[in-house]
A and B are shown apart, each in its own frame.
Chain A
Amino acid sequence: MRTILFLLRKEFLQISRNKSILPIIFVMPIFQLIILPFAANYEMKNISLSIVDMDHSLTSQRFINKITSSKYFLLKEAPNNYNAALKSLENDEADLIIEIPRGFETDLIKENEIKMMVTANAINGQTSGLSVSYANSIIKDFNNEIRVQWIQNPRLNPRPMINITSSNWFNPLMNYKYFMVPGVMAILVTLVGFILSSLNIVREKEAGTIEQLNVTPIKRYQFILAKLIPFWILGLFVLSIGLLISFLLYGIVPEGNILIVYAFAAIYLIALLGLGLIASSNSDTQQQAMFIAYFFMSTAILLGGLFASIDNMPRWAQYITYINPVSYFIDVLRMVILKGSSLYDLRNHFMVITAFALVLNAVAIIGYRKTT
């Protein structure tokens, strides 16, 4: 026990003396948490719209008023031919073109049917899909409005109607930031914890000080524990900063018990740091450890469900996410903070992450060799 305490003191001294790394540990996460949730926003608004009105009738004018008064669209221009609109689409000045054909009003009355053309810049499939569906729903709305107005007699035969009511649980205001903040928090804790731990042992190797540690009577598990504990504390500290910022800045109060978040984070960090130490003791240079850390981090974040829902991934990718500790952490943070899930609801997550922690650290202890 005393040996560990001495070792811990050494590690803490080294961390606190490292002037370049400390501000990064504390300032970066705060900075990121303030900026990124504002950036990571799929709430569509201000879609630049170009309307080509070939009809210039009262009805087409009414439609234009309707679509421009929605919060999704911003009328950028109203050129008098389609090709001019296409040009602005090419220059990224417009995202969406709506063409109202000549005879829009008269044909609608005479022929009962008319076609409007919607053209989107679809390079980003996700956003263009959303903007087209917004445009479509506004057109449908408009269609219903004029129908109700133009049809004089009420319908003779009532039709069967299924009323659909929908409600949005856990985030009734549909605030995208509520979704992103817990995820970004998970990523920051992971980044700080994993990078620091993966660089640690290898740093001693590079500096040559590992030899001195190897010739002392320190046991392997003591060595690993002493490396692990300081970063474990740092990780929980970063998490606390994150929770504080998400409360102060975004007004997010965890629905569930905050102790569950800490309990899970505590186990998760042990697993993560174990993985970092494995990466570290298997590398010869910090640069190499960094590669491994970067490779792991970028893959784990992409597959962690932060940006794209895991449910939508193909089977094989979903299997990979089962062995991705990051995806469990993101999941738990979101579930506890947004949904108020209880310990019982999260029992599977806890079991899996505990298994990760045990296995990874066993490997870290066994894999660390005192001989070179």
Chain B
Amino acid sequence: MKQLLVFIKKEFFHILRDPRSMLILLGMPVVQVILFGFAITNEIKNANIAILDNSKDEQTQKIINKIAGSTYFNIERSLVTNEQIDEAFKTGKIKLAIIFQPNFQNELTHTNSASVQLIADASDPNNATTLINYASSIILDYQNSLMGPNKLPYTINTEVKMLYNPELKGIYSSVPGVMALILMLISAMMTSIAIVKEKETGTMEILLVSPIKPWLIVISKAVPYFILSFINVTSILLLAVYVLGMPIEGSIILLFVMCVLYIFCSLALGLFISTSVSTQQAAMMVSLIGLMLPIMMLSGYMFPIANMPWILQMLSNVLPAKWYIIIVKQVMIKGLGFSGIWKETLVLLGMTALLILLSIKRFKIRLK
């Protein structure tokens, strides 16, 4: 036991003597949560648009004023000819062009029909859809205002209720994701690097011939990163609650227990990586490209799993992060108890056990 403590102390020194890395390890989750909370948003705001007004009359001016007055759009420029539209899109300045037909007012008052063309930059399809929807509804609003307060017959109204997140804040889905990503990277990447580093520099031999048992060496490597991860969980949750105003509906103890389980799973994965590669660079590449991008994209963190082809849905089941994210959402946002998450918990437990078993089998205590 005393030996183990000495070793853990040694590992702590490794980390503490490198304040720059410490700063990044502890500061990164903070930066990411804040970026997600305030910067990364899919809400349309001040989208740059261009207007080609071929009519230049009172009506078109009124519509343009209405569009300019909305928070969605920012009229970047007024065009004069059709050719300029192409150029405006290709320099990337605008996302939407609104084109009024010539004689707009005349047509509207005399034939009761005039047309507006909307052209969207659909290289980002969702953005394009949303922009067209917003612009159309502003124009339709204007059209309705021309008709006066005339009620239509047989109207179906809808009442929309947004459960769990009435303001549709993006942070509700990104906090669980950021936690999954950061914990996985710190625990899996750092542990694997720390172990492989000893292999690479040759100090592993010294450790292996010492009287301490090999598995204690591994545990002593994992403990400091476990503690760091735990600090990060706490700081992310504090930020989410006190800075971003996100509630914790369920039991906070259950939430922390689940985080600890996930950290264990990540540490086991790190251990497994370290038994499979021989250089730090390879360990980093595997952890970064093999973990960072898949967690960002396949775990349900940024993109809904239900939209994926079935083969990717199957693949996402292998990621511990997927299960962890479900657990955090259920407990933290929906406020469910253990009965709501026991399946996911079992999956995480199983993965952890499997990874530890595999690592023990592969862990070599002999030199080549």
Contacts and interface: CB of A to CB of B under 8 A. Distances in A.
For B109, B162, B292, which residue has the most chain A Cβ atoms within 10 angstroms?
B162
Given A120-B163, A121-B164, A294-B185, A43 B125 contact: yes
B71 to A, nearest CB: 11
Interface in A21-54: 21, 24, 28, 32, 35-36, 38-48
A28 to B, nearest CB: 5
B163 A139 contact: no
Interface residues of A, number: 118
Shortest beta-carbon contacts, A-B, top 4: A125-B168, A168-B122, A317-B39, A20-B282
Interface in B15-42: 18, 20-21, 24-25, 28, 31-32, 35-36, 38-42
Interface string B84-118: 00010111100100000000000011001111111
Interface stretch (A1-9, A283-291, A355-363): A283-291
B345 interface: no
Nearest to A348: B91
Interface string B29-63: 00110011011111111111000000000000000
A313 B41 contact: yes
25 contacts: A20-B279, A20-B281, A24-B289, A39-B308, A42-B125, A46-B307, A112-B154, A117-B160, A119-B162, A122-B165, A123-B329, A139-B156, A146-B154, A150-B154, A162-B142, A162-B143, A164-B136, A169-B120, A170-B123, A171-B122, A286-B197, A287-B18, A287-B193, A308-B40, A317-B35
Given A130-B126, A163-B116, A169 B89 contact: yes
Nearest to B148: A159
B47 A311 contact: yes
A334 interface: yes
Contacts of B143: 160-162
A313 B34 CA distance: 13
A178 B123 contact: yes
A345 interface: yes
Contact of A171 (B123, B136, B142, B156): B123
Interface string A323-335: 0000000010011
Given A139-B158, A169-B119, A291 B91 contact: no
B40 A43 contact: no
B154 A21 contact: no
A163 B140 CA distance: 9
Contacts of A206: 201
A128 B169 CA distance: 11
Contacts of B108: 160, 162
Interface in A107-128: 108-109, 112-128
A175 B125 CA distance: 7
Interface of A: 18, 20-21, 24, 28, 32, 35-36, 38-48, 89-92, 95, 108-109, 112-130, 132-133, 135-136, 139, 142-143, 146-147, 150-151, 158-172, 174-176, 178-179, 187, 191, 195, 199, 203, 206, 283-288, 290-292, 294-295, 297-299, 302-303, 307-309, 311-314, 316-317, 320, 331, 334-335, 338-342, 345-346
B352 interface: no
Contact of B24 (A132, A291, A340): A291
Nearest to B292: A298
Contacts, number: 350
Contacts of B214: none
B368 to A, nearest CB: 15
Given A120-B163, A159-B112, A41 B308 contact: yes
Given A167-B117, A308-B41, A345-B92, 19 more contacts: A28-B285, A42-B303, A117-B161, A120-B162, A122-B166, A125-B169, A127-B304, A129-B168, A147-B153, A160-B108, A162-B139, A163-B116, A165-B118, A170-B122, A175-B125, A302-B40, A314-B38, A317-B38, A341-B91
Given A125-B168, A125-B172, A132-B160, A167 B119 contact: yes
A126 B42 contact: yes
A134 to B, nearest CB: 10
A166 B90 contact: no
Interface stretch (B215-223, B237-245, B261-269, B333-341): B333-341
Given A125-B165, A206-B201, A303-B39, A90 B334 contact: yes
Contact of B156 (A90, A142, A340, A342): A142
A123 B161 contact: no
B31 A160 contact: no
B91 A345 contact: yes
B297 A36 contact: yes
B161 to A, nearest CB: 4
Contact of A291 (B20, B32, B124, B326): B20
Contact of B197 (A116, A158, A287): A287
Contacts of A129: 168
B6 interface: no
A319 to B, nearest CB: 11
B129 A162 contact: no
Nearest to B298: A39
B170 A24 contact: no
A57 B293 CA distance: 49
A150 to B, nearest CB: 6
A136 B137 CA distance: 13
Nearest to B282: A20
A81 B293 CA distance: 42
A47 B306 CA distance: 8
B170 to A, nearest CB: 5
Given A118-B159, A171-B122, A176-B126, A48 B306 contact: yes
B235 interface: no
A174 B115 contact: no
Interface string B223-254: 00000000000000000000000000000000
Contacts of A35: 294, 298, 312, 315
Contact of B127 (A112, A162, A302, A309): A309
Given A108-B156, A116-B157, A116-B159, A166 B120 contact: yes
A24 B282 contact: yes
Contacts of B45: 311-312
